[in-house]
């Protein structure tokens, strides 16, 4: 009988000890995060008026799909002007790179006339020189014949140079300049065509349209946001945690979370990033002495197994156990 009493008393003490331990045990630490995804704000690089909208909020689009189309009469005029400038530059290059047969024929005729003048002046000089030796002509006549011969020779040299210039055309420097002007004009035209292509707004990623600012008929400046897309196919979970909760946690570790809006069952996730946040994100010390500021870290994780139905902004709950404790 005494042993039974002692057994009952011992069992009661054990139960009371368990109840006391459960009562004094600190509640489990719960951390809350949210589902995040890449968001892309889409804008045009050039100004224009919206003339066509192919999507609305909630639509799912594929990468490269045409979302909207803009128009810009100014860019159209700029393309026409650039095309005309290319034509002018190419025509000038053709001019300096070619030689006209008519110019060559005219230069050859001038050279032939100059050679005839040299021949005639040479004959006159020879006669005057012979007469001067016999004393039948004054020296002044010989000097005049000499000057006429020299002038005829210089004229022939000028005609030869003109023929060479007409045959070879422009100098290498002039041709290089004309070619550079053609490239410059073509580059300007290509830039204008690129600007025209920017009037067609395409999806840079596959995703869902979450915001549509653009409206038909409205003008938008360069860089003004028109649409926003989110990439629902590649989501992650973000947690903002005090540094004293990170002891032992490293990239690659896994833990379980619950996503109330997507699935009631716990889901295992893998840590992909642990990054400190700005100085403003801290937990301040509550004691005047012995405390210190605790920095806040962003912890990112991705689902280990694919999970359907995740949307940015959904809450993620995790019962956290300190790795170091």
Same domain, 218 and 83: no
Q: Is 126 within the bounds of a domain?
A: yes
Dihedral-angle region of residue 290 (phi above 0 means left; psi in -120 to 50 means alpha; beta otherwise): left
* 47 C-beta neighbours (distance < 10 Å), count: 18
Same domain, 83 and 189: yes
Q: What predicted TM-score, i.e. pTM, was given to this entire model?
A: 0.61
CA angle 263–266–268, rounded 5-degree value? 115
Q: Report which DSSP code applies to 244.
A: G
Q: 316: which strand partners?
A: 33
Q: What is the pLDDT of residue 200?
A: 92
Dihedral in degrees, nearest 10, Cα atoms 166, 168, 169, 175: -170
Q: How far apart are CA 81 and CA 185, in angstroms?
A: 10
Q: Is 64 within the bounds of a domain?
A: yes
Same domain, 184 and 169: yes
> To 10 degrees, what angle do helices 101-134 and 139-168 make?
160
Q: Which residue has the higher pLDDT, 287 or 19?
A: 19
Same domain, 131 and 174: yes
Choosing from 170, 193, 216, the residue where a domain stops is: 193
Same domain, 137 and 207: no
Instruction: Give the three-class secondary structure for 34.
Output: strand
Which residues neighbour 250 within 8 Å (Cβ) at sequence distance 6 or greater? Answer: 271, 274
Query: Can you give the residue range of the structural domain that contains 121?
Result: 79-193
pLDDT digits (tens, 9 = 90+) for 184-196: 999 999 999 999 9
Q: Count of domains in the chain?
A: 3
**Average pLDDT estimate for 312-325:** 74
Q: Is 251 within the bounds of a domain?
A: yes
pLDDT digits (tens, 9 = 90+) for 82-99: 999 999 999 888 877 767
| Largest CA-CA distance found in the chain, in angstroms, rounded | 180
**Average pLDDT estimate for 68-75:** 92
Same domain, 286 and 302: yes
* 9 pLDDT tier (thresholds 50, 70, 90): low
Q: What is the pLDDT of residue 24?
A: 56
* 157 pLDDT tier (thresholds 50, 70, 90): confident
């Amino acid at each position: 009988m005494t042993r039974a009493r002692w057994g009952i008393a011992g069992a009661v003490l054990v139960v009371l000890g368990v109840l006391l331990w459960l009562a004094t045990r600190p509640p489990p630490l719960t951390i809350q995060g949210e589902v995040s995804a890449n968001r892309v704000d889409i804008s045009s690089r050039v100004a224009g008026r919206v003339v066509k909208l192919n999507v609305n909020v909630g639509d799912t689009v594929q990468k490269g799909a045409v979302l909207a189309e803009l128009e810009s009469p100014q860019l159209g005029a700029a393309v026409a002007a650039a095309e005309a400038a290319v034509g002018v530059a190419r025509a000038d290059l053709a001019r300096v790179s070619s030689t006209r047969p008519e110019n060559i024929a005219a230069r050859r005729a001038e050279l032939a006339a100059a050679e005839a003048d040299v021949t005639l002046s040479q004959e006159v000089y020879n006669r005057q020189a012979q007469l001067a030796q016999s004393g039948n002509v004054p020296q002044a006549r010989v000097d005049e014949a000499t000057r006429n011969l020299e002038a005829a020779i210089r004229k022939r040299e000028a005609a030869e140079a003109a023929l060479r210039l007409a045959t070879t055309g422009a100098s290498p420097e002039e041709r290089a300049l004309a070619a550079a002007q053609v490239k410059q004009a073509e580059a300007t035209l290509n830039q204008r065509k690129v600007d025209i292509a920017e009037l067609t707004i395409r999806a840079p990623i596959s995703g869902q349209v979450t915001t549509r600012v653009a409206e038909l008929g409205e003008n938008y400046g360069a860089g003004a946001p028109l649409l926003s897309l989110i990439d629902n196919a590649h989501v992650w979970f973000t947690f903002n945690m005090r540094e004293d909760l990170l002891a032992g946690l490293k990239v690659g570790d896994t833990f379980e979370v619950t996503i109330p809006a997507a699935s009631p069952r716990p889901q295992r996730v893998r840590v992909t990033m642990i990054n400190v946040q700005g100085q403003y994100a801290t937990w301040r010390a509550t004691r005047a002495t012995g405390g210190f500021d605790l920095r806040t870290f962003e912890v990112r994780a991705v689902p280990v197994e694919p999970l359907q139905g995740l949307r940015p902004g959904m809450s993620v709950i995790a019962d956290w156990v300190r790795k170091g404790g």
